[in-house]
Structure formats: structure tokens, C-alpha cells
Homo-oligomer: A and B are copies of this chain.
Amino acid sequence: MEEHSETIGSGNNGIGSLEETQEIRQRRALAELAEAEAHHYDVNKYERPSVTVDVLMMSLRQRDLQILLIKRRSWPYEGMWAIPGGFVMMNESLEAAAKRELQEETGVQDVYLEQLYTFGDPGRDPRTRVVTVVYFALLDSERLQVRAASDATDVGWFSVYELPQLAFDHQGIIDYALNRLRNKLEYTTIAFNLLPDHFTLRELQSVYEIILHKRLDKRNFRKKILSTNVLEDTGEKKMEGTHRPARLYRFNPEAEHKL
């Protein structure tokens, strides 16, 4: 959840005589909107761009950073893969539209969702003018596995490091997102959103290694993470294979501590 959305209220407390009905107000509003912005242009006289929300869903699968793409079935970019998205409905927030998209494609709820950037160059979609607000979501690998089987054949997970040719400006969007993710990894606790509730330090280190795309020193990594107190020892251990079991930790959100 973008920290921002709490501080920005919806500003719905309009100033005006309280006796007015909603209808009268609405009608007058349109007239005044046109008037107030007259030095720009008449709002009703011009076409409006379409507004869509695209959601880049990212998860760790097969020791890799993967994203969900859908295959296009018609012009333009027919047969190419694209980031899922859809139109914003008149009375849902941008974030609500993103959550709806997320729900439709993966069935998951309550995941980390952050607004990335808004792309609106004329010509980025040859059909019509489309302004798209892009969000990215981080899905915890464990909950996701359950639904992996339900994927249709024109929906697929791809490694961000080996992507097919993408439709529109979507490759650029992914580059941008990866950049943002890498940066935030260093100074926020964003990484925990890609792990299940309980995890080992090795698993956490793997998250960093996969996203930063480089090896990290085990001792320095553990030292740094543990010194921030964002981890809580659950007391449990995770045994797999024939070797010493690893402690299981849990993210401590009390310590809203930045790394």
C-alpha cells in the first residue's frame, strides 16, 4: 500500500449552499467547469483520453523474479505479450481498479501495491489516446503457488531477465519498475512482501540476490538485517534436506524501521 493514500483525503467537502440538490449542483458544475477553465479549452468540446490501469505483478518463482503477462489476441501487437490492465470505472479509485485487475488475474488480495508511473504519450497505443496509470504488485510466492494451475494458456509467468518481445511501451515500463524495486529494496522493507509469513535468513537473502541480480556476502547480509531489528525470531526451525536446520523469522512491522 502506497503510504501516500492516507495523507491525501478525497476532498469531497464541496463549498456551496447546502440546500442545493446533488443534481442542480452537478449541472451547474459542468457549466462552471467549462467557464473556469475557459482559457484552456472547453471540456465538453474535446475528446477525452481513455484512462487505464496496468498492473505489473511480480513474484519469486523458481528462484527467479517473474512477472505475469497476457498474450494479445488482436491488433495492435497481436500475439505479443503485455502487462495486464483495464479501464478505470467512473466511480472506483485508481487503486481500486488496480486491485480489481489483480483479483481478476491472480485471485489474490491484500498484497503490496504501489503506483509506479503514468504513461500517456500520444501514439503509445495506435488505437486511441490512452493514459495508463501503472501499478506494481508484489505477490508472496507461497500463496501464489496454489493458484498457479488455474492460469489460462494466454496468461503466463516470465522471468524479468528473459522476456519475450512486449507490446506497446511495456518493456520500458518493466525496466522502470525493476529500477524502482531495486532502489526500494535498499532503504525500505519492501522485500518482505515477496516472502511468506515465516522465512529463513537464507530465503530473505535470496530475495535480495535475485532482485539485485548479484551475490551478496552471507555474513554481512545477516549482520545488517539483524542489526535493524525488523526480524523477530519465531523460535521455530525449518528443516529441509540433510543438514542443519535454519531458524524461521517473522517480519516485525512494529519496527517500521527503514533499512
Interface residues of A (CB under 8 A from B): 4, 7-12, 14-16, 25-26, 28-30, 32-33, 35-37, 40-41, 43, 46-51, 72-78, 80, 86-94, 115, 117-129, 131, 133, 167-169, 172-173, 175-176
Contact = CB atoms under 8 A, between A and B. Distances in A.
Given A11-B168, A46-B87, A94-B118, 12 more contacts: A4-B117, A8-B119, A10-B122, A10-B124, A25-B126, A33-B127, A40-B86, A43-B50, A88-B120, A90-B129, A91-B122, A118-B118
A10 B133 contact: no
B14 A76 contact: yes
Contacts of A115: 117-118
Contacts of A168: 11
A25 B78 CA distance: 14
28 contacts: A8-B173, A9-B169, A10-B121, A10-B123, A11-B123, A12-B124, A12-B126, A14-B75, A15-B76, A29-B76, A32-B74, A37-B86, A37-B87, A46-B87, A46-B89, A47-B90, A48-B49, A48-B51, A49-B51, A51-B120, A51-B131, A88-B131, A90-B129, A93-B120, A93-B121, A94-B131, A115-B117, A131-B133
A212 to B, nearest CB: 17
Contacts of A94: 118, 120-121, 131
A51, A88, A118, most chain B CB atoms within 10 A: A118
A127 B29 contact: yes
A4 B86 CA distance: 23
A121 B43 CA distance: 19
A133 B120 contact: yes
Contacts of A123: 10-12
A129 B7 contact: no
Contact of A122 (B29, B30, B47, B93): B93
A122 to B, nearest CB: 5
